Structure 1
Amino acid sequence: MIRTPEQLEALIPAAALRADDSWWPRPGPDPFRLVVGARTLPAEQWLRPRPHDAALVTWRRALLDEQGEAAFQALPGTTAAGRAVLDLVCGVTGDVSSSSMTGRHPLDLAGRLVAEDLCLVDLTGGRPRLTGASLAMPNRWLLADKLGRDMLAVHVPVPGYAGQLAAVVDRFLTGLREHRIMTRANWAITDDPRLFQPAADSRARQGDRIRTPAQAAVSLHVRVEYQTLRLLPEPARDSALFTIRTAHEPLSALADRPAVAGGLAATIAVMPPADLDYKGVLPYREAVLELLRGYAGQT
């Protein structure tokens, strides 16, 4: 039986979309400011498979087929970098890359083997830019809007990015070294249960309906992006690979993780309104804070 992406999404076990506690970023500083928050990741932990990944990978393949250019695009001249990505991914998954070269871009092939979204970043000229992506779980951004653009343009919607992070991120990316893998995390809250969320206008649709902690617990979801960055090997050393493993859980799933709930509440409590809006929290701030503090035992 051939199933649609929607049918396959319903078959993904909740455990496949649960964030490891180690994925969560540390509580934001007070007063709040943007930070890269990257650390070194041991090579053996890169793209480490988790239980139930098979269902997620099956869904990704169907979603990539259905969405076409909305989920995969790569600029001309990226084949060598894509092949380097495919070789790295096959080294983890055990697939044989040469047997799969069927006319698809190698980055597209790589994105069909793992649970992560894969993004290519060109590093030449000191201004890193997005040159390709296999993107099944975008968090309210359109690939067509970002492809070919530098990091400042990619992050235009992020409040404070231009002044606080743009130069830092460009230096960080162009300073990557082979065999040194970096990792960081990001998070957002959404009232949309779907995994594939490319539209920015999907943010905060239920602001008038979700008013209490009980409503927030069942109607809001938290998305955590566990991200890795690594320089590609020769002959593609002018490009980097950015991976995004997305966890997507109802807020109620934090009831058994008091430390995580408390850290997220601490961050939300110090965030300015513009950042809360970008994170999808602003219409629900008080209900979410009360809920998370209750989970953390702070009430």
Structure 2
Amino acid sequence: MTLGFCVDALLPKARGGGQLRMGLSRLSEGEWLQPDPDLAARADAFDEWPEAVQLTPEAEAPGRELAAMLGVNGALPEAARAAHEDMCLLTRAKNEEIYRLIGAAVAWPTDWRPADKLGLPLRALHAPIAGYDEQLATGVDRFMATLRPGIIYGRCNWFIAPTGARRWLAEGEPHEQFAHVTPDNAGEALFVRSERQTLRRLPETNAILFTIGVHVEPLGTLAAQNVAMLARAVETLVSGEGDRRGAPAYADALTAFAAERTPPC
């Protein structure tokens, strides 16, 4: 399997620091979505946060195509309730060369609100990511334009969060969010959040489906090699990216904790 379904399995495939990259892996149909989703947790997540679902009229047809693929009645909201993954739909209008977000069913976002992103083109969607426009935008645009139906790609990323909640909407400044974290408690107070993302084109409507499977674990439960990777990565994030992730507020505690967990040579 090229991408697993837990943080320890995902981190070796994730970018560390340095230059941005897509880091795509080809997936089979059987590797597309988590095979044993907690559907009760998904239902609760959507019920308690109604703004998780944001739709334009253009999302109706591809949403129904997606739901049919998953064997459920309905459209995008019902499809996302039937899987572990949050789901977004993007299409390109006939008079445009850019893809826009036309529908989102995102119960467990990583510090963003679907209503703020609906209708935006790809570059605007990724605007908060330092270096995206210069290092990655052209390649992503080319990938989206050439993606063929029947092919599935996956990738993963990581974030350090002060909470183990699957829905993370950061409130306050990073130094406030991470104020309770010390080298001694970092293993329990810091949480590693990895998004297992997939991309595929729907064959009938030609829309692109972007799924986001969120996995969260306390730092101290991870393999020593992964903890060491994270400590190195926070020191080599591209300019501005570390600030966006709040790294200055937790980097010292993470580095000190990793030093205690460094695997033998």
TM-score normalised to structure 2 length: 0.89
**Matches of 2:218 and 2:102, distance apart in 1:** 33
> What is the CA distance between 1:281 and its match in structure 2?
2.3
1:167 equivalent in structure 2? 138
**Matches of 1:190 and 1:225, distance apart in 2:** 13
1:28 equivalent in structure 2? 16
**Matches of 1:138 and 1:250, distance apart in 2:** 18
- In structure 2, relative to structure 1, the CA distance for the partners of 1:243 and 1:261 (3 Å cut) is same
1:65 is aligned, of 38, 44, 47, to: 47
- Which secondary structure state, in structure 2, belongs to the residue aligned with residue 120 of structure 1? strand
Please, which runs of 5 or more residues in structure 2 have no aligned partner?
A: none
**Matches of 1:157 and 1:107, distance apart in 2:** 26
> What is the CA distance between 1:269 and its match in structure 2?
2.7
Matched, 1:268 2:234: yes
8 Å Cα contact 1:120/1:132 also seen in 2: yes
1:182 is aligned, of 149, 153, 157, to: 153
8 Å Cα contact 1:269/1:289 also seen in 2: no
1:146 equivalent in structure 2? 117
2:31 equivalent in structure 1? 45
2:79 equivalent in structure 1? 110
Taking the TM superposition and a 5 Å limit, the aligned residue runs for 1:128-277 are 128-199=99-170, 201=172, 203=174, 205-210=176-181, 212-234=182-204, 236-237=205-206, 239-254=207-222, 257-272=223-238, 274-277=240-243
**Matches of 1:43 and 1:202, distance apart in 2:** 41
Which letter does structure 1 place at the counterpart of 2:40?
T
> What is the CA distance between 1:204 and its match in structure 2?
5.1
- Which secondary structure state, in structure 1, belongs to the residue aligned with residue 210 of structure 2? strand
**Matches of 2:231 and 2:264, distance apart in 1:** 10
The structure in which a higher percent of residues are helix is 1
8 Å Cα contact 1:24/1:224 also seen in 2: no
- In structure 2, relative to structure 1, the CA distance for the partners of 1:201 and 1:133 (3 Å cut) is farther
**Matches of 1:26 and 1:208, distance apart in 2:** 27
**Matches of 1:76 and 1:203, distance apart in 2:** 37
- In structure 2, relative to structure 1, the CA distance for the partners of 1:127 and 1:24 (3 Å cut) is farther
8 Å Cα contact 2:156/2:196 also seen in 1: yes
TM-score normalised to structure 1 length: 0.79
1:88 equivalent in structure 2? 69
Please, which runs of 5 or more residues in structure 1 have no aligned partner?
A: 1-16, 91-96
TM-align CA RMSD: 2.2
8 Å Cα contact 1:183/1:228 also seen in 2: yes
